[in-house]
Structure 1
Amino acid sequence: MNDRTELFTIGQLSRRTGLPVRTIRFWSDEEIILPARRSAGGYRLYDVAAVARLDLIRTLRELGLNLETVRRVLDRQDTVADVARAHAEALDAEIRVLQLRRAVLRSVARRASTTEEMRLMHKLAQLSAQERQHIIDDFVDHTFAGLDPDAPGAHIARKMRLMPAELPQDPTADQVDAWVELAELVADEAFRQRVRQMAVAGAEPVDQPRPYDHEAVLEHGGDAVAAGITPDSAEGQAALGRIIDARTPVDERVRLAGELETFTDRRVERYWQLMGVVNGLPPFSPGAAAFEWLIAALRAHR
């Protein structure tokens, strides 16, 4: 008898391949490998092709493929290349989940989070990219529903929708924290109503140019906040004069203060800061405090 005609019992296959007897018997019961014939005593006998088949099965199983996928490969319903490609994609997804778990654990360790916080962070961090974007899309749809997409303030909706809420492949603890805070923020009904108010106001046509320069507010208003200058002080009013024309009438100042108040909200500013962290963008200097100071200074004119 030569190698091509030699037959092996399960025990002999085990010794030849190094696979446990119970594993070979299980694969045979599942008809992943089939005996060439049975002995007079009813024992299953396998030919040399079964040895090669077992080597391939072991390799595919070590790569993590389930038995049904292995069966399709062996039956040539799928090519090894197709299976390898699909499995590589599955491994990428698994690695991503592990990276997210690691980031969550780092964040929990840093924050000394409670069990409930850890559960929430873990749940949110494992959302797919599509599910994360759906949270933002739902927020934008609710906020800007019924507004003219060509209205002056519509660019805010477009910007909110286009800014992806996608965590990177290996997020930092800061990015996980930012995503959790962001998800909680857009789910807050008071925040949604506040942004809706801003959106409706922003959709109104602008009758006149604004009587101030944005950068001037950040510079002089920001300096006043940093220096602790109160808006109603003489020094504060002098700073105000560097932002708007000192001859601006009181009623115009009051009107401008109301308009600015509509579009000034630290939580909205926080939204953009969190989006920046999630997307790995350079941080920007917050400006809401400077505009709040300006609003108070406009109303404090004597």
Structure 2
Amino acid sequence: MFSSPDGLCGIGELAERAGVSVKTVRFYSDSGLLPEASRSAGGHRRYGPDSLERLRMIRSLRTMDLPVSAVRRILDEEDTAGRAGGALEDAVAGQLSTLGSQLTALRWREAALRSVQECPAPERAARLRLIGSVTAPPSTAPLARFWRAWLPPRMPARSVGAFLEAAVPQPPEDPEPVQVLAFARLSALVSRPCDGNEATQPHAHRAAGARASAVLYAGLAEAYDLASTEMRQDREPFPGEALDGFVDAYASAHGTADTTDFRLALARQLAADPRIDRYWELTAELVSRPVGPPEPTPGSAHDWLLAALNVQLGTALPA
């Protein structure tokens, strides 16, 4: 309760009790967050008994960096329902999400600076230019664009999305310097202009039509998952369920039977097809931690399966 006979107080007393400046109280009043009870004969602002608690609530919300618009929604809900509810929950969740993005950006900047600091002095300028081209937190949009141009045209959107989920690595939230460097090199790799002559999609992947392409990539995704399980257990390539699924994906897409002759032809075609090994090498550096075995990628799983096919066929075809 305020000391004045009418139970109201001026802006100076309210500011002093709340521990804020008069300018702050005036700003909240002018923003409509802190209504005035009345004005004195001289035109001075007067505030009611509830103003102090309301001002403390506003200050607490603003301390969390909530924008004025979010504070207004929370106060309106409190005025209507008698308590803060969904508006406060939404505001806190949104602020936590924003803060998480900011922290990730700071971690990436720190790791980028360490990468520049730790490299040999003659290489620092080039390293800085390379890493400086990557936003923090980094965007995977260039990687997705690269694969969309690589995939067969008119593939179903669901199939494209599933493929991108497997082929586009997600940058870690707390990267090591080597991972920042790997992502920068990966972005540079997919962004460089083509010379117009280099092969893109492997011949073995050129299925007849969008539907067959969707069948192919869905089958390959399952085979890669099975192969990755074997790779994480450090098993050498061997014929089995993963290989059968791998071959069946190609056979089904091309409308042919899985025979020994087909497997021989497939092994030869896969060995001769163009490759993007550098993409998968950099992806492995990005998704793996410095300590421990490298995490399998679709590229390394593909190599494992091709090696398993060659083991089964007893050929000397290169993996």
> What TM-score comes out, normalization by structure 1 length?
0.62
What is the CA-CA distance between 1:2 and the residue it aligns to?
6.9
Q: Quote the residue 1:34 is aligned against.
A: 35
Q: Quote the residue 1:295 is aligned against.
A: none
Deviates more, 1:119-128 or 1:38-47: 119-128
From 142, 146, 152, give the equivalent of 1:135. Answer: 142
Q: Quote the residue 1:283 is aligned against.
A: 294
Alignment CA distance shift 1:39-1:203 (3 Å) = closer
Q: Quote the residue 2:202 is aligned against.
A: 199
Q: Give the aligned residue type for 1:136.
A: L
From 172, 195, 198, give the equivalent of 2:176. Answer: 172
CA contact (8 A) 2:186 2:283 kept: yes
Q: Give the aligned residue type for 1:200.
A: H
What is the CA-CA distance between 1:147 and the residue it aligns to?
10
Larger Rg: 1
Distance 2:27 2:154 in 1: 64
What is the CA-CA distance between 1:82 and the residue it aligns to?
2.1
Check if 1:269 corresponds to 2:277.
Answer: yes
CA contact (8 A) 2:204 2:270 kept: no
Alignment CA distance shift 1:114-1:191 (3 Å) = farther
Q: Give the aligned residue type for 1:278.
A: L
Gaps of 5+ in 1: 150-157, 206-217, 219-257, 288-297
Q: Give 3-state SS (helix, strand or coil) of 2:77's partner.
A: coil
Alignment CA distance shift 1:193-1:74 (3 Å) = farther
Alignment CA distance shift 1:259-1:174 (3 Å) = same
Q: What is the aligned-residue RMSD (CA, Å)?
A: 4.0
Distance 1:269 1:117 in 2: 22
CA offsets 1:67-111 (integer angstroms, 9 cap, x no match) = 121112111286222221222122112212222222222222223
Q: Quote the residue 2:105 is aligned against.
A: 97
Distance 1:273 1:189 in 2: 20
Q: Give the aligned residue type for 2:177.
A: A
Distance 2:101 2:175 in 1: 14
What is the CA-CA distance between 1:172 and the residue it aligns to?
1.0
Distance 1:173 1:124 in 2: 13
Q: Quote the residue 1:226 is aligned against.
A: none
Distance 1:110 1:92 in 2: 27
CA offsets 1:205-224 (integer angstroms, 9 cap, x no match) = 9xxxxxxxxxxxx9xxxxxx
Q: Give the aligned residue type for 2:50.
A: A
What is the CA-CA distance between 1:263 and the residue it aligns to?
4.2
What is the CA-CA distance between 1:142 and the residue it aligns to?
2.2
Distance 1:21 1:40 in 2: 20
Q: Quote the residue 2:136 is aligned against.
A: 126
CA contact (8 A) 1:8 1:47 kept: yes
Distance 2:91 2:31 in 1: 20
1:16-55 → structure 2 map (5 Å cutoff):
16-55=17-56
Distance 2:155 2:96 in 1: 45
Distance 2:204 2:193 in 1: 18
Deviates more, 1:59-68 or 1:111-120: 111-120
Gaps of 5+ in 2: 79-85, 157-161, 209-235, 237-267, 304-315
CA offsets 1:175-224 (integer angstroms, 9 cap, x no match) = 1100110111122344895451x61266499xxxxxxxxxxxx9xxxxxx
Q: Quote the residue 2:187 is aligned against.
A: 183
Q: Quote the residue 1:87 is aligned against.
A: 95
What is the CA-CA distance between 1:55 and the residue it aligns to?
0.3
Q: Quote the residue 1:294 is aligned against.
A: none
Check if 1:15 corresponds to 2:11.
Answer: no
Distance 2:101 2:59 in 1: 23
Alignment CA distance shift 1:8-1:118 (3 Å) = farther
Alignment CA distance shift 1:144-1:67 (3 Å) = closer
Aligned length: 228
Q: Quote the residue 2:254 is aligned against.
A: none
Q: Give 3-state SS (helix, strand or coil) of 1:121's partner.
A: helix
CA contact (8 A) 2:101 2:137 kept: no
Distance 2:154 2:199 in 1: 13
